[in-house]
Structure 1
Amino acid sequence: MLANGMHVISDDLLAYTVPQGTKGKCRVRVYEPDDPELDATVVIASDLPDNPGPSVREAASTIAARVAASFRLYRRPVFVEHRPPEDFELVWFGRYRAQEIRRMGPHLLWDLEVGQPERKPLDRETVEALVGQTV
């Protein structure tokens, strides 16, 4: 458990394909609040030096959709892009609508719409305050 009531639920690599068909990969860390009524989930997507495809910045909408589907994030998360070592940006999607649609028995399909991303620079200290630990 972290100091400000956040805990890591995932720290893994994510493979993605952007709509143009190009494949990429990034590191994704997902921090969940102890009290989801008070805080939002925080997602940090980090560029990798060996990524063969689009950067986190170029694929932000695709990555956000994949993470939201994987972790069933119905509420808008705090999404942070990270370009190591020190470049962080808060990403705000103008539209965020998430829902599950049940079709064909037990299989769930996920529907997510995100708007165009807007960005605001962040420093490492602010990001670490969001998640309560070193990133």
Structure 2
Amino acid sequence: MTRLHSQYLCLSAGQCGEEQRRLKQYWYTSWPDQKTPDKAPPLLELVQEVERAREEAPPSSGPIIVHCSAGIGRTGCFIATSILCKQLRTEGVVDILRTTCQLRLDRGGMIQTCEQYQFVHHVLSLYEKQLSCTAEE
């Protein structure tokens, strides 16, 4: 069973909490460490939801922060999928290996296992089918 939660948090800084930030946290609890989720659609839905939220947020809202326990496996899959979905949508072609290699230059170990790499391929193939169906309508 897929467990995807979101919630708003308010963070305060300074002695009296004079600086506050409101942020939205997404939490994918059914994705096991160093593995892949049972199903691909929830990751695609999460990527699309985060992209929608980013587009609706004011420019001053700051960056998107992605992290899992080690910050490389699930994080790498999410970031790669997010980058590649946007690339597929705008350019019509993707290079998953090149994107993975670039992510690994930025942070060593991104996408930890062959299973995770294959999962990114699977999610992108689902997204490509989704784009094809939308284009046909």
Q: Same fold (TM over 0.5)?
A: no
Rg larger for: 2
- TM-score normalised by L of structure 2: 0.32
Structure holding more helix per residue? 2
- TM-score normalised by L of structure 1: 0.32
